[in-house]
Amino acid sequence: MTVRVRFAPSPTGYLHLGSARTALYNWLWARQNGGSFVLRVEDTDQERSTQEAEAAIFDSMGWLGLDWDEGPNVGGDHGPYFQMQRLEIYREHVDTLIARDAAYRCYCTAEDLKKAREAHTAATGNDHGFRYPGTCRERADEPDREHVVRLKVPTEGSVGWKDLVKGEIEFGWETQQDAVLMRRNGVPLYNLGAVVDDLTMGITLIARGDDHVINTPQQIRMYEALGAPVPQMAHLPMILAPSGEKLSKRHAAVGVLDYQELGYVPDAVLNYLVRLGWSHGDQEIFTRDELVEKFDWEHVGHTGSKYDLKKFQHVQASHLRMLEPADVAALSQRWVTERGLSVAEDDPRLVAATELVMPRAGTFIEVAEAVDYFFRDTPEVDPKAAKKFLTAERAERLTALVTQLEAVEGWRRDGLEQHVMAWLQAEDIPLKEIAQPARVALTGRKASPGLFDVMEVLGRDRSLERLAAGADRARAAG
């Protein structure tokens, strides 16, 4: 059987991390099995659906590299799939369900339902557990009269399935009610739209959040009534906040594009998301190709996974360091520019500086911040660092260092280090006496990559100029 999976977001907001993980698991399964990954937009909530949200979903998936084979923006015989463009298809299937006595037209008004709820409350003492009482189940059919369409669920027995994640699940039909499938205006509700779409699109596996477990019995009822095989099911536990609550904006950045703005690597986001619910031994860091090769349903956990920012940052930093310095430099360019620095994309210093700072940087934003002093006419000096290291007694040492460096030819790291170390040894000067003041003069900071690496990237003129300025500042401090 050819694997066909789908991701079906509603365009009512940004793409949440939980939804992105659902898309990822489906995408991995399709790519691993040479199948199709279908994207459809469940836009039947017309009051809340927006084009901005739709664009945000497409942009998020594009940034993550979760390309789809069928769906919006894909040409050919399939798609684009928008539910509001498929209303006639839903009507046809509803008519079939009615003809097979698996659904019926309900003429109850809002007032009728209000009275039924009040009667339930009077009889039970509360309004919990109210279910539609089946008023119209056996009424004469009047298709021209205003109505909704309800599913006709059995009154006895049970329904169950073997879930790829949660195992055997069973519901008694007494727990179900005759839920509305189609509104009065002919627009389907979730259960009808999902079943008809999955059926007509040939979906073989439905992988979605476990909040949809409660919908599955009614969907199975429709598949069986339509004479169609029920797809495999995989219901994924939620991503939780560190406290165990549902993850929300107050706990973390929860929109995919938030992480793009934070300077994350797309593959790092995928790596972290896949591990929020799936494991492969003790391995934590995966390339995209490794995920496609190794993903399975057997090792998807049964319970929710807690978001852990420190682990996320570790995964992100690991992926950043897997990239080539030239790629990191190019991807950091945006944030370099946002810092007010004018650096040409082909400036060789950008790649060289990026390579130096990558071991300590976690994001593209941190890369941009770390290379900042390489591209300013004068570095922004940390006042505390200057107060501690650019002191009067160090002024002459910095001046002497400038004199020594002026004699160095070639201006390469190794030559700089050899010359300076020989001078320090001859003068019996400890390296720490010159290294930290020189570092602050060159970078404005207490911490930086290796001193001689920094000098090489800065170049002769800029290095000598900054060291001399540092000596002047030190003298003035006296």
Residues annotated as part of the active site: 249
Using a 10 angstrom Cβ sphere, with 0-12 exposed, 13-18 middle and 19 or more buried, the burial of residue 409 is exposed
- Pick the closest to residue 151 from 132, 112, 179, 182 (CA basis): 179
Residues near 271 by beta carbon (within 8 Å), at least 6 away in sequence: 285, 286, 291, 315, 319
Mapped onto helix, strand or coil, the DSSP state of residue 149 is: strand
- What's the sign of the alpha-carbon dihedral 459, 365, 264, 244? positive
Q: Smallest Cα–Cα separation from 248: which of 61, 9, 7, 18?
A: 18
Task: For helices 309-322 and 266-275, give the axis angle rounded to 10 degrees.
Answer: 140
Q: Determine the Cα–Cα distance for residues 301 and 309; give it in Å rounded to an integer.
A: 20
Q: Which of 399, 367, 408, 418 is nearest to 466 (CA)?
A: 399
| Contact partners, residue 31, CB within 8 Å, separation at least 6 | 37, 292
User: Are 466 and 441 a contacting pair, CB within 8 Å?
Assistant: yes
Half-sphere exposure of 70 (CA within 13 A, CB side): 21
Question: Residue 8: what are its φ and ψ, rounded to 5°?
Answer: -130, 75
Q: Quick check: helix, strand or coil at residue 95?
A: helix
Which tokens in the block code for residue 127? 């309004």
Nearest alpha-carbon partner for 218 in 173, 259, 263: 173
Report the alpha-carbon distance of residue 26 to residue 68 in Å, rounded: 10
> Residue 244, exposed/middle/buried by CB under 10 A (0-12, 13-18, 19+)?
exposed
Place of tokens 């300077």: 263
**Amino acid (1-letter code) at residue 298:** E
The values of phi and psi at residue 210, to 5°, are -75, 0
Using DSSP, state whether 84 is helix, strand or coil: helix
